[in-house]
């Protein structure tokens, strides 16, 4: 599982201009089952996306295609973690530690 942290690198006015394209991009990845949750950070200096079901190379490819990134107003920090415990609603996304990590 991945935590995708967006940090705005450009003015909010430009972020807002690209927001509809960003939301469409989010919708595509929600529809594919990759994204589980997303939203703005408070204060509004970026956002967070919780993603699952992909490897790091695919996540890097997807984040690079975000209209906020291609528009030059956002950078991503990607953190991968192993979701060994979840709320019942996310049980399908639970993961097991690899044998070498047990």
Q: Residue 50's CB: how many other CB atoms inside 10 A?
A: 16
For 82-98, what is each residue's pLDDT tens digit?
999 999 999 999 998 88
Non-local (6+) Cβ contacts of 89 within 8 A are: none
CA distance 43 to 31: 28
pLDDT digits (tens, 9 = 90+) for 41-71: 999 999 999 999 879 999 999 999 999 999 9
**pTM, to two decimals:** 0.93
What is the C-alpha separation between 2 and 23, in angstroms, rounded? 19
Q: Where does the pLDDT of residue 79 fall: very low under 50, low under 70, confident under 90, or very high at 90 and above? A: very high
């Amino acid at each position: 599982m991945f935590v995708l942290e967006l940090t705005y690198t450009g003015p909010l006015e430009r972020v807002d201009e690209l927001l509809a394209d960003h939301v469409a991009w989010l919708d595509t990845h929600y529809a594919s089952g990759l994204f589980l949750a997303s939203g703005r950070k408070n204060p509004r200096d970026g956002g967070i996306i919780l993603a699952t079901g992909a490897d790091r190379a695919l996540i890097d490819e997807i984040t690079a295609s975000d209209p906020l990134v291609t528009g030059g107003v956002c950078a991503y920090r990607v953190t991968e973690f192993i979701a060994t415990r979840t709320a019942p609603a996310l049980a399908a996304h639970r993961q097991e530690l690899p044998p070498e990590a047990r």
